[in-house]
Each structure stands twice: as C-alpha cells, then as structure tokens.
Amino acid sequence: MEFALHKDIEVIKKTLLAATLLAATGAAHAGFVEYDWETAGDGQVTLDTTSGNLWLDLDVTANMSINEVKELVANDARYAGWRLPTLTELYQLASNMFVTIDPETQYRGTTRHTSGNAAHYLMGQADGGAYTYGIYEKNGGTYLFGSGPNGLYLNYAWDSSGLDWNRSLEGVYLVSTDYNISVDSTQINNDMNVSDVSAPLGFAATGLLLGFAGMRRRNA
C-alpha cells in the first residue's frame, strides 16, 4: 500500500507540473524555466517552453565579441551543441518574453515592454543585477537585445559593420535544441512533454488524481 501511495504522489507531482506549465503558457511572459548547464545548481540555461529552444545565460559569454564566440562554438568542446541563433529565433525569443515584436522596428528604451524583464532576467544580469544585455548578429553587424530599468532594446546597433565589438555588460546569445548539453536533460524532456498536454485536460487530471490520492489515503 505504501508503494502504491508513493506512485500516486509521483503522478500527482508530474500532473501539477503540467498544470503549472500550461497556466504559464497562457500568461504573456511565462513559459521560461531555468535549469543547470554543467553542474547542479549553476542555473546557466533557460528553456523557452513555447519554442522549445534552450538558451545559454549571457554571463557565460560576457565581454566576448560575436567573432570570439563563433570561434569557441567551432573549436571548444565545452560549447559543443550551442550555436548563434537565427534572426527568426532571436525575434521569437523577444516576442515570447515581451510582446509581439516587429522585426523591422528598432526598440530603444521602450518602457512599455518592461513587464517582460522577469523572464529575461533568467538569462543573467549585469551591472549589479539591473540589466540583461546580449548581442546577436544581424546583416554582418553586432546588435543589442537587452532589457532593464531603461526599457527594451532590440535591433539597436552597437557596431553595424562588424562582429568584433564587446563589452563587459553584454554576452552573446547562444541557442540549442539539444537538451543533452544540460545536466538536467531528463527533467527538461519531461517538462517539455507535459507542457504539450491541453490545459483543460491537465487541470481536470490534477483534480481527479488529487481526489484519487485522497481516497487511497483514507482507505489505507
């Protein structure tokens, strides 16, 4: 009986996780979960459960240029599985964190978008925790996607003609769809699987399982 009850509790925990993720997906800026990259507790990767993309925290590549990071991705085994994002992936990340982004618009301290900062902060914070700043490649230049007290920055050119620009506040955006690069790969796969369940079914299952577990306890 004790073993059966333990199994019931595990099922309930997984279902509650599914319900939580589904509720988050319905929110404007939710659906981002922090996991570990190389060691337990490092919190260096962030999963966008909407796109399924895994992002490396920006502090890992802080003070590096895009060209320097390209070299690391190509030659350093530590960065195996990571790559620079496409513009589509970068804009999708920005849209999922904040609001729908217009790829043709330059956002320069757009304060109406700051409600997405909490999700962005999962990717690392600089300057005493005030900013999350990162750079990406666009048309051969270095551009900023950042957020903080001054608002949202996107399509903002730091160096529109090259990829050697760097500063301590900015890291380089790196993305992966290979969850095995994380020590939490099993948990990430499980969480992505439960996030595919429809919300009504997820919440209904939660109620049924909680009720079932209650009956099991009363009958024990």
Mean pLDDT of the chain: 80
pTM: 0.76
Tell me the mean pLDDT in the region 175-182.
97
- Judge whether 160 and 15 are in contact, CB under 8 Å: no
Tell me the mean pLDDT in the region 158-177.
97
* Window from 5-14, 32-41, 63-72, 80-89 with minimum mean pLDDT: 5-14
Tell me the mean pLDDT in the region 70-98.
97
With a cut of 70, say whether residue 205 has pLDDT above it.
no
Which pLDDT does position 84 carry in this prediction?
98
Which pLDDT does position 87 carry in this prediction?
98
With a cut of 90, say whether residue 196 has pLDDT above it.
no
DSSP state of 85: P
**In terms of Cα–Cα distance, which of 208, 205, 186, 177 is closest to 22?**
205
With a cut of 70, say whether residue 106 has pLDDT above it.
yes
Which two structure tokens, joined as six digits, stand for 101?
């982004």
d(CA 101, CA 85): 16
Q: In the chain, where are the structural domains located?
A: 53-176
Percent of the chain at pLDDT > 90 equals: 61
With a cut of 90, say whether residue 215 has pLDDT above it.
no
With a cut of 50, say whether residue 137 has pLDDT above it.
yes
Which pLDDT does position 110 carry in this prediction?
83
Which pLDDT does position 115 carry in this prediction?
66
Helical H runs in the chain?
2-26, 66-75, 87-97, 117-121, 185-194, 199-219
Q: Is 58 helix (H, G, I), strand (E, B) or coil?
A: helix
d(CA 15, CA 22): 10
Which two structure tokens, joined as six digits, stand for 194?
């439960």
Phi, psi for 192 (deg, rounded to 5): -65, -35
- pLDDT category of residue 112 using cuts at 50, 70 and 90: low
- Judge whether 25 and 203 are in contact, CB under 8 Å: no
Q: Which range scores top for mean pLDDT: 3-17, 21-35, 109-123?
A: 109-123
d(CA 155, CA 17): 35
